[in-house]
Structure 1
């Protein structure tokens, strides 16, 4: 299987279709944004709202990268708990970041409502589930740290978690009412549409082939045209392509695959995730599950589907489905797809300073809230000249030795885990 977006459920059910075409000719703008996922579309939307002329380009179609292959969990915060964030960034910077990302679902769902984005939004919270009794202490630690900074999270015992999930394969859960689910490709494309309606020029099928800067002006060359702009935001994250004159920051490439069942019966939906929370577990090789608007169960885990061992992931998915929800044993999955997650060595997102520009990356699987927030705040910081608007300070330079080998390590670990897990 290739990483073609069209194999995903989200492509098949997306209702947002922003009007766009490839860029031809020369364009002059205040800001050029490269990358049509959450970060780039959010940046273009905010810049246009602030009165800037904006040109947003995407090499493929909007949402083609990680944004359109996402699980669709709009989380509050990062994978790391607050004290670990503070240990790496310092208490002042870490606390600011945790607060900003804790409020990120407000931003996401506010944009959905304001712009009428058709993306199946459900804000009924998320459940971080203990995959075994050994996972409960970690959930307790996370609950303690989140409650200490005012997050309204609640630790559920095994019985309540099992009732909410509809499975006895979970052993407790951390419930976060701030979060929710959405149709991830629809949200990305809805942001692109909103940016266009706000006055931004948007162009898909328009890869950047070369980037230069001279005398305070960025020049971005594309196959059929070019853009001149004072400011630049690079928002390609895990799907950066080679561009002459620009070296993308190194990331650890980690893959995540998913499958979707046909719509469950009404009786099954009353039993499985009756509250429509989005879920993921505490296992080292994480898995996730949720329902879409039509009642399909979407279930997935770490791993890619484009190598010789990918059949291991696919057969494990069938076993996992049966282990989690015995009533669904033998259900044929209608869609299978995977995408790439950009991780950093610290599991923290980063903003890197360019001359009159920024690049952000490394959301580590939390792209919806952080990507939307970072895009908005980078646009605000550039237009206002106030870097204090950034959710964390911009860095200068980034190195990540052996990034590709680290990615191979994660894939090997996921494949070996799925070879032996959930066997009867």
Structure 2
């Protein structure tokens, strides 16, 4: 089992040959971070004729944008009514509406720019793993249908037909959603942004940011950029002490394990519509197939810190629980990505200083949320209007005890997975 990201190896979009920043430059807007949020910002600014430069510390992609499950999900992690309880009715419904339409924005960009990312638009499935989960899905379905969302509860035979297991008796199918290869989507956004006129540089980490009269001066190891406005699109991979985004999330992880390509009747029954899926467990499991027929399982936790034998044991346990007809299968890949968590499970949009925008806390919904936030940031930078963003731009209080929260989450995830491996938990 290779400790490599499957999506990078199987991306139909080839890597871009991007240079390192060298020398002194000037631009209207500098974007720091070459993931989905940063690239969406750069693309929409460049298409509007704004001078924009993007710098990335590694390759494109190197962070969560190329390492996630690849679910093109609508909405936030929590149900719509819970969003209103956290954000208030007006802002909450604004978030529900904009993020509910986010998959359509993603698929529109894919079509408009010809991004080869193995996209499917057949929905996603939320799976009830027990009776309590079934009640939770019914609650979500009612709230979404009340708002006109095209979702349906699948029961019994219809559920088995869509998922391919007798272990699940109820699933929530969201027709707005779909799947893609996230590394390919990110590379496609980079290609589109560059074609529109954005300047992109990789292996060019920002080492310092300082005021330069009315502008900002950003230095890297081999160059500098002077810009009127900054966008800090670093989210869960924010590490530099100068970057205040790091104070507005705490780090979590999500690991995945992928089999060799599968074929045959038993394999063909699993997610035949190629929907991506995740369950209602306390520590959820994600399930999907890729374009070559691999079974890909994932869960919350830091897989890269665990022995391969542990990951293999966990994957076998989940596979045999849901899909016993497959028999024994061989696992080919494992990889881990980071998640930016917030205590209330909602994102944060803020102006850290005059002309400096930041975002954090996608809570595992980075593909769609990052795309629409980038588009909204571009509009805000051009018009000073933030109505295209899911939330108004504010200056929230920093999150306390971030390291303790991260450690507590990871310990809980590991304990839960150990219980699954030991068959203490189903």
TM range (shorter): over 0.9
Distance in 2 of aligned mates of 1:168 and 1:145: 27
Q: Contact 1:208–1:243 (CA<8 Å) still a contact in 2?
A: no
Q: Secondary structure at the match of 2:393?
A: coil
Question: Which residue number in structure 1 is paired with residue 4 of structure 2?
Answer: 7
Q: CA deviation at 1:309?
A: 7.0
Change in CA separation of 1:314 and 1:400 when aligned onto 2, cut-off 3 Å = farther
Question: Which residue number in structure 2 is paired with residue 105 of structure 1?
Answer: 103
Q: CA deviation at 1:49?
A: 0.7
Q: How does 1:81-230 map to 2 (within 5 A)?
A: 81-230=79-228
Q: How does 1:389-408 map to 2 (within 5 A)?
A: 389-408=388-407
Question: Which residue number in structure 2 is paired with residue 365 of structure 1?
Answer: 364
Change in CA separation of 1:214 and 1:138 when aligned onto 2, cut-off 3 Å = same
Question: Which residue number in structure 1 is paired with residue 349 of structure 2?
Answer: 351
Question: Which residue number in structure 1 is paired with residue 38 of structure 2?
Answer: 40
Q: CA deviation at 1:336?
A: 0.4
Q: Contact 1:210–1:246 (CA<8 Å) still a contact in 2?
A: no
Q: Secondary structure at the match of 1:205?
A: coil
Question: Which residue number in structure 2 is paired with residue 80 of structure 1?
Answer: 78
Question: Which residue number in structure 1 is paired with residue 285 of structure 2?
Answer: 287
1:308-354 C-alpha deviation (Å, 9 max, x unpaired) = 67754442112111211113332111100011100111100110113
Q: Contact 1:133–1:171 (CA<8 Å) still a contact in 2?
A: no
Q: Secondary structure at the match of 1:70?
A: coil
Distance in 1 of aligned mates of 2:247 and 2:43: 24
Q: Which moved more, 1:287-296 or 1:240-249?
A: 240-249
Q: Secondary structure at the match of 2:303?
A: coil
Q: Secondary structure at the match of 1:194?
A: helix
Q: Contact 2:207–2:219 (CA<8 Å) still a contact in 1?
A: yes
Question: Which residue number in structure 1 is paired with residue 413 of structure 2?
Answer: 414
Change in CA separation of 1:169 and 1:397 when aligned onto 2, cut-off 3 Å = same
Question: Which residue number in structure 1 is paired with residue 334 of structure 2?
Answer: 336
Q: Contact 1:313–1:419 (CA<8 Å) still a contact in 2?
A: no
Q: Contact 1:312–1:415 (CA<8 Å) still a contact in 2?
A: no
Q: What do you get for the CA RMSD once the two structures are aligned?
A: 1.8
Question: Which residue number in structure 2 is paired with residue 380 of structure 1?
Answer: 379
Normalising by the residue count of structure 1, what TM-score does the alignment of the two structures yield?
0.95
Distance in 1 of aligned mates of 2:342 and 2:119: 29
Aligned length: 421
1:162-202 C-alpha deviation (Å, 9 max, x unpaired) = 22111112121011000000001111111011100000000
Q: CA deviation at 1:224?
A: 0.6
Distance in 2 of aligned mates of 1:343 and 1:246: 15
Q: Gaps (5+ residues) in structure 1?
A: none
Q: Secondary structure at the match of 1:334?
A: strand
Normalising by the residue count of structure 2, what TM-score does the alignment of the two structures yield?
0.95
Change in CA separation of 1:272 and 1:389 when aligned onto 2, cut-off 3 Å = closer
Distance in 2 of aligned mates of 1:247 and 1:311: 36
